[in-house]
Amino acid sequence: MKFRVDRDVLADAVAWVARSLPSRPSLPVLAGMLIDARDGELLLSGFDYETSARVQVPAEVTSEGSALVSGRLLADISRSLPAQPVDLTADGGKVVVTCRSARFTVQTLPVEDYPELPEMPTASGIVKGDVFANAVSQVAVAAGRDDMLPVLTGVRIEIEGSAVTLAATDRYRLAVREFSWTPEKPDLSATALVPARVLADTAKAFASGSDVTIALAVPGSGTGEGLVGFAGISGGTMRRTTTRLLDGEFPKYRTLFPPEQQTVARVETAPLVESLKRVALVAERNTPIRLTLGDGQATLEAGSSDEAQASESIEAAIEGESLTIGFNPQYLLDGLGALEAPVAQFSFTQPTRPAVLTGLAAADAEPNTDYRYLLMPVRLQN
């Protein structure tokens, strides 16, 4: 194996693949990055049995072949190289990296012990990278972080033709985002539960590219079941990644949204966030902030009577009955942040029932129901 490759192209590609390598490999070969030089291109692969990553970059290949080397080390080396063409040569049990006057020798791992990367699932469709990244970030905020409740650490993906729904919940809040995409087959119907952390990282990695291909298994197809795949062109190189799905029953979330509403309040998001941050300063750990809506005002209060107290009011457009409700301040902040809208709309039924947040482009606009954030109230002590 012998090839020459552009330094930046190599460093980017290696860094991207190295991201998914395990920091504590269960088998030594899993710390490896597979370098596969073929006709005019280079394939770099990493796999830790959960997530696989592969990138395809152009290279001047003088001799085809493959080698397995420590991925972290290759990442450290390629990052440190000067901006000059890089030559890689396999030589016995070593790979020699040269770039101008820099020369590194890296020991190889046994290629024959390296596992085969999983195949990409077959059913797929395309969405814009930034749309997808944005949707995922809005939903992932509500995903659970407790590995002992694995199902709640996932983002549920539901596909019905051209409609995609993402949902996540940690039992205290639920975020649901809908967007449309272009499926390869118009009648595609599929679901998947993807670990939220991996999904968020992946979506971010594809955000700058134009299109992302999302690939899911058609049940019973036998290929790629239990996996989700993503592919896209980023930094001029073709990248693909697969990750294992969570197995388990995601809560039936659609019925959690209350069918009717008693009180609807619209508040400008930015001032509300500012007030909330200030008032939350005096809220003791794990105690709620109190939100009162009435008389054209949203009032935030926190703190107990004998310790520090805070209270702020801002203007609000309120329809329906007045109401006082308690929220976990961080969860409320997360939701207001995820709306990404200048105006937030709160819909309530009762102080003991969940509230629903939606975003509006302006105070008199229609709420954008593509994104809904449902937040459980916290019982208030008198």
Partner 1 sequence: MSEVSGVWADLVGQEPTVAVLRTAARAAAARLAAEAAKSAGEGAAPSQPAGRSGMTHAWLITGPPGSGRSNTARAFAAALQCERQGCGECTACRTSLAGTNPDVTLVRTEQLSLRVDEIRELVRKSAMSPVGRRWQVLVVEDADRLTEQAADALLKSLEEPADRTVWVLCAPTVEDAVPTIRSRCRLLVLRTPPTTAVAQVLQRRYAVSPDLAVFAARASQGHIGRARALATQEEVRARREQVLSVPSKLRDLAGCLTAAASLVELAAEEARAATAELDATEKAELERALGVTGSGGRGPRPRQLQAAQKELEDQQKVRAKRLQRDALDRALLDLVAFYRDVLVVALGASAELVNEELRDDIERRAHANRPELILRQIDAILACRDAIAANVAPLLAVESMTIALLEPTRR
- Kindly list the residues in this chain that would bind partner 1 in the complex (CB under 8 A): 23-29, 31-32, 49-50, 69-70, 72-74, 76-77, 94, 104-107, 109, 113, 115, 118, 147-148, 150-151, 153, 219-220, 222, 225-227, 244-248
User: Could you tell me the smallest distance in angstroms from the CB atom of residue 88 to partner 1?
Assistant: 14
- Supply the minimum distance, in Å, between the C-beta of residue 213 and partner 1: 20
Can you list the pairs that 291-298 forms with residues at least 24 positions away whose Cβ atoms lie under 8 Å? 291/324, 291/325, 291/326, 291/327, 292/322, 292/323, 292/324, 293/263, 293/265, 293/318, 293/322, 293/323, 293/324, 293/346, 293/348, 294/318, 294/322, 294/323, 295/322, 298/265, 298/267, 298/272
In angstroms, give the least distance from the CB of 53 to partner 1: 15
Report, in Å, the least distance between residue 99 CB and partner 1. 13
- Here the tokens at position 39 are 């006709």
- Nearer to partner 1 (CB atom), residue 50 or residue 184: 50
Place of tokens 């991925």: 71
CB of 247 to partner 1, least distance (A): 4
Q: What is the DSSP letter of 214?
A: E
Q: Give 229 or 359: the residue with its C-beta nearer to partner 1.
A: 229
Q: Give which of 375, 2, 378, 19 is closest to 174, Cα–Cα.
A: 375
Residue 154 or 303: the one with the smaller Cβ distance to partner 1 is 154
Residue type, position 37, single letter: A
- Residue 167's nearest CA partner among 193, 187, 188 is 193
- Give the separation between CA 31 and CA 117, rounded to whole angstroms: 14
Is the Cβ of residue 118 or residue 359 nearer to partner 1 in the bound state?
118
d(CA 66, CA 43): 9
Residue 75: CB minimum distance to partner 1, A = 9
Of the pair 21, 339, the CB lying nearest partner 1 is at 21
- CB-wise, 80 or 210, nearer to partner 1? 80
> Given the complex with partner 1, which of 149 and 270 has the nearer CB atom?
149
| Minimal distance, residue 321 CB to partner 1, in Å | 41
- C-beta of residue 111 within 8 angstroms of C-beta of residue 34: yes
Distance of CA 70 to the CA centre of its chain: 27
Taking residue 53's Cβ as centre, other Cβ atoms within 10 Å add up to 27
